[in-house]
Amino acid sequence: MQTIQQYISEHKDRFINELIDLLKIPSISADTAYSQDVLNTADAVMDSLKKAGCDTIELCETPGYPIVYGEKIIDKNLPTVLVYGHYDVQPADPIDLWTSPPFEPVIKKTDIHPEGAIFARGACDDKGQMYMHVKALEYMTTTGNLPCNVKFMIEGEEEVGSESLAWFVPRNKKKLANDVILISDTGMIANDIPSITTGLRGLSYVEVEITGPNRDLHSGLYGGAVANPINILSKMIASLHDENNHITIPGFYDKVEELSKEERNEMAKAPFSISAYKDALNINDVYGENGYTTNERNSIRPTLDVNGIWGGYTGEGAKTVIASKAYAKISMRLVPNQNWEEITELFKNHFENIAPDSVTVKVTPHHGGQGYVTPTNSVGYQAASKAYNETFGVLPIPQRSGGSIPIVALFEQELKSKTILMGFGLNSDAIHSPDEHFGIWNYLKGIETIPYFYKYFTELH
C-alpha cells in the first residue's frame, strides 16, 4: 500500500500546479465586478472534487454564491467527516503594495519558508488550505486508504459573512449529517511548533455615520461655532476605551467568560517571544488591555477596533472645510458567551447616547457571528492530535485564535457536531494583506497530516 509520503513525493509538482491554477481566478466575493470569477472558481472546485473521487457532486444554489457539495459514502455504519472551506478570497487592495500581482501566483523563498511559498491572494486563506483536503482525499480514494465517509461543503461567501451558508445549513441538515467537522482555515504557531486551534472569536461589525450641518462649510466662517462631525466622531471613538484600555460600552463585559488562573497558566506555556513579535511588526512596544498578556489580548479578550475612518477633504494640498458628515467602520471581536446581536445593540445604544445634541448619529450593523471553543477531550481533537504527532513528530499545542469563522458556531447549533480546526498557515503568511503567501512545506504537510486524522478518527470513534 502506497503511503501518503510516497504519494506526495510522486505527485507534489502537480499538487502545486493545480493550486496555482485555482489561485489565478480572482474569486473576490466582496466585489460584484468579480462575480463571474467567483462562479468559475466554484466550478473549478467541483471539478477537483470529482477528480479526487467524490461520487456525488452538486453545485447547490443559494440566494448568493453557490455552495460546492461533494461526498463519498463508503459504508453507512462508518463515521462521516464533513470538510468545510471557502473558495472566495479577500479583495487584493492595496494592490500597489504587492511585490507580484495577486492573481499571478509565483513561488518565492522567504526566511520562514526556505522551501518556497506561493504568493497569491487566497494562497493561505483559504484556497491553499482547502485544496489540501481535496488532495488528501485524492490520495485516500486512489490508494484505497479512505477509512470512513466524507462530505465536502465549500462556500463562496466566507469573507463577506457566510449569509448564504447560514441559509443553506438549516435547510440541509440531513445531507450534512456528520460525526465531526474538519476545517483548515486557521494557523499554527510555527512549523516546528504545531498547534490546533481550539477557539475562534465572535464578531460584531458596524458602520457609523455622524451628520453635523446640512452641507460642507467654510472652516473660517463657521469653525468654532458648529459641531465638526469629524472632531465629534474622533472624540466619540476615543471615549470607547478608558485609560486601562477597557471598553467603556455599558454591559459589554457582562457575559465575558473569565478564564481561571489555571487555564491562563496553561495558555502561557505556549512558546511565544515578545521580542520576535515586536520585531516582526517593527513596533517598539505592544499595546492593549491592562492586566492581560499579548496572547490573552488577542484570543480570550474582546476588542473594539476602527477598521476605517473617513470624511472631509483628503485630496492633495489643503482645503479649509468643515465636512457635513464623518464615517467609520468598527469591528468588535467577541469571546464565548457574548452574544453578537446583543453586543451590536449595546454598541448602538451607547454610541447614540454619547453623541452631543449638535450632531445626529446613524449606526448600521453589518454582519456578525458567535465565538467558538472546542474541547480538547473530544474524539476529534484526540484524532487530530495523534495525526500531528505522526507527521510533525511532536504533540500539537491547543491554542485559541483571535480570528473569526462565524459559521462554526452555527454548525454546532444546527448539526450538533464539534469542529476541529487543523490550520497549517502562519501568522506571517499575510492573509488579507498584500503579499499573502502559503509555504509549500505547509501545503504538503497539511496534505500529509489530513489522512492520519481520518485514520485515527475512525479508529477512535
The interface partner of residue 397, options being ligand BES, Mn ion, none and the CB cut-off 5 to 8 Å by kind, is: none
Binding mask 159-188 for Mn ion (x = CB under 5 A): --------------------------x---
Residue 295's identity, in one-letter code, is N
Please, what is the angle between helix 4-23 and helix 440-460, to 10°?
A: 120
Closest separation in Å from C-beta 392 to Mn ion: 22
Kindly state whether residue 405 participates in binding ligand BES, applying the rule CB under 6 A: yes
Interaction residues for ligand BES, span 334-393 (CB under 6 A): 367
Q: What are phi and psi of 363, to 5 degrees?
A: -115, 120
Query: For residue 92, is it left (φ>0), alpha (ψ between -120 and 50) or beta?
Result: alpha
Of the candidate spans 102-110, 180-188, 216-224, 348-356, the one that interacts with ligand BES by CB under 6 A turns out to be: 180-188
Question: Nearer to Mn ion by C-beta: 155 or 185?
Answer: 185
Q: Distance between CA atoms of 206 and 329, rounded to whole angstroms?
A: 6
Residue 126 in contact with Mn ion, rule: CB under 5 A: yes
Q: Which does 448 bind (CB under 5 to 8 A by kind): ligand BES, Mn ion, none?
A: none
Q: Could you say whether residue 155 binds ligand BES (CB under 6 A)?
A: no
Q: How many residues touch ligand BES (CB under 6 A)?
A: 16
Here the cell at position 243 is: 485609560
Tell me how far, at minimum, the Cβ of 215 lies from ligand BES, in Å. Answer: 35
**Among residues 195, 194, 188, 199, which one has the least CA distance to residue 427?**
188
Minimum gap (Å) between residue 460 Cβ and ligand BES: 26
Among 194, 202, 311, 403, binds ligand BES (CB under 6 A): 403
Q: Does 435 bind ligand BES (CB under 6 A)?
A: no
> Residue 245: what residue type?
N
Number of residues that bind Mn ion (CB under 5 A): 3
User: Shortest distance, CB of residue 126 to ligand BES, whole angstroms?
Assistant: 6
CA dihedral 423, 429, 430, 435 (to 10 degrees): -130
Helix H or strand E segment including 333:
strand 325-334
- Which partner from the list Mn ion, ligand BES, none does 186 bind, CB cut-off 5 to 8 Å by kind? ligand BES
Residue number of the CB atom closest to ligand BES: 403
Closest distance between ligand BES and the C-beta of residue 81, in Å?
19
The residue within the footprint of ligand BES, chosen from 149, 204, 298, 401 (CB under 6 A), is: 401
Q: Decide: is 125 part of the binding site for Mn ion (CB under 5 A).
A: yes
Does 123 bind ligand BES (CB under 6 A)? Our answer is: no
Is 88 a binding residue for ligand BES by CB under 6 A? The answer is no
337 — alpha (psi -120 to 50), left (phi > 0) or beta? left
Smallest gap, in angstroms, from Cβ of residue 286 to ligand BES? 19
Does residue 185 touch ligand BES according to CB under 6 A?
A: yes
Stretch 288-327: interaction string toward ligand BES, x if CB under 6 A: ----------------------------------------
In 148-228, which ranges are E strands? Answer: 149-155, 180-183, 195-200, 202-211, 217-218
Shortest distance (Å) from residue 230 CB to ligand BES: 26
Q: How far apart are CA 270 and CA 195, in angstroms?
A: 9
Asked if 194 contacts 399 with a C-beta cutoff of 8 angstroms, the reply is: no
Question: Which DSSP category does 200 fall into?
Answer: E
Which parts of 337-439 fold into alpha helices (H)? Answer: 340-354, 379-392, 407-415
| 125 belongs to the binding site for ligand BES (CB under 6 A) | yes
- Does residue number 157 form part of the binding site for ligand BES (CB under 6 A)? no
Give the 3-state secondary structure of residue 430. Answer: coil
Q: Which three cell numbers stand for residue 37?
A: 470569477
- Closer residue to Mn ion (CB): 149 or 162: 162
Report if residue 198 touches ligand BES, rule: CB under 6 A.
Answer: no
Query: In the beta sheet, which residues pair with residue 70?
Result: 57, 152
What's the burial of 315, exposed, middle or buried (CB within 10 Å: 0-12/13-18/19+)?
Answer: exposed
The answer to whether the beta carbons of residues 456 and 383 sit under 8 Å apart is yes
Pick from Mn ion, ligand BES, none: which does 435 bind, CB < 5 to 8 A by kind?
none
Name the pairing type of β-strands 117-119 and 437-439: antiparallel
CA distances from 225 to 214, 221, 327, 393 (A): 14, 9, 21, 69
Q: According to CB under 6 A, which one of 16, 203, 334, 343 is a site residue for ligand BES? A: 203
Grid cell in block for residue 38: 467567483
Kindly list the residues in this chain that would bind Mn ion in the complex (CB under 5 A): 125-126, 185
Kindly list the residues in this chain that would bind ligand BES in the complex (CB under 6 A): 125-126, 158-159, 161, 185-187, 200, 203, 367, 401, 403-406
